[in-house]
Structure 1
Amino acid sequence: MANYTLEEKDSFVVLGFGTDLKSDYTDYMGINQEKADFWNTVNEDGTLDKLKTVAENESVFIVNEAVNNKMMHYVGVLTKETLPDATRVIQFPQGEYVVVKGEAETAEVLHETLTGMAFGEALPAAQDVAYVGGPNTSVEMGQRDGKVFGEMWIPVVRK
């Protein structure tokens, strides 16, 4: 079972660059491949480095959001600034969040692990709350002992 906490968070804004995931929402292998391809692109073409120049802190946000009936996937940072070619300013609501902590060898594996733990274990175990949509994010917070550590944040409401 995934260990999780319920935490109150203030609203926050993530500036991101994103991609429209084309795979069916039940095609986990296809979705994961699209996300991996996107992650490789933003690391290689300088997009992530560009975002970090306007970031308020060291955290990198990997956001999933449904927009206009499309599954969107973003890499972003906390900032009050903007970049002319950024894809989206993503608003996260004030309220309770299911938070799952973890660590992994790479940022990509961290994101996949946290997503699986959060949606496969923590949310089903969180009996008093429900995820009703909206953006969710894994947050890469840094490195220690050769591993990437971070958290998954999913906004929830009381049942």
Structure 2
Amino acid sequence: MKRICLFPGTFDPITLGHTDVIDRSLDLFDEIVVGIGVNSAKTPMFSLEQRMQWIRDIYSHTPKVKVISYEGLTIKSCKEVGAQFILRGIRSIGDFEYEKAIADVNRMMDSSIETIFLSCSPRYSTLASSLVRDVLKYDGDASQLLPENILRELKKA
């Protein structure tokens, strides 16, 4: 059976912390589906199409990484893509407590889908998309925060 994992998030934008988690999980799964959750209550800095394209560009050399968008419950999206696992990156104890609560509810809804927690590499443990958006908004140097392809594209704009 193919081991398919859904890595959900808003990825607004995808950061080096996100890519660290994806890169380190490549050997764990046969397919990683990066699922960009669409939340009508949030107004993202970057369009859904832009975020999806950035991820496709980063992983264009890695056919086992796919990108989708979805609305609603992550557990339902898992069923739609055939994922048996949900991947979550953990930066801190606070992240773990929040993510564990979500994992417990997901398990109640479908006990066949396991949540896998992968701690971030120490150098990315404080990196959050919200902080990156602030750096970008105020023209700060995001070179240690974002993948190279995103930095190049943002410099063009």
Task: Specify which structure has the higher proportion of strand.
Answer: 1
TM over 0.5: no
TM-score by length of 1: 0.24
TM-score by length of 2: 0.24
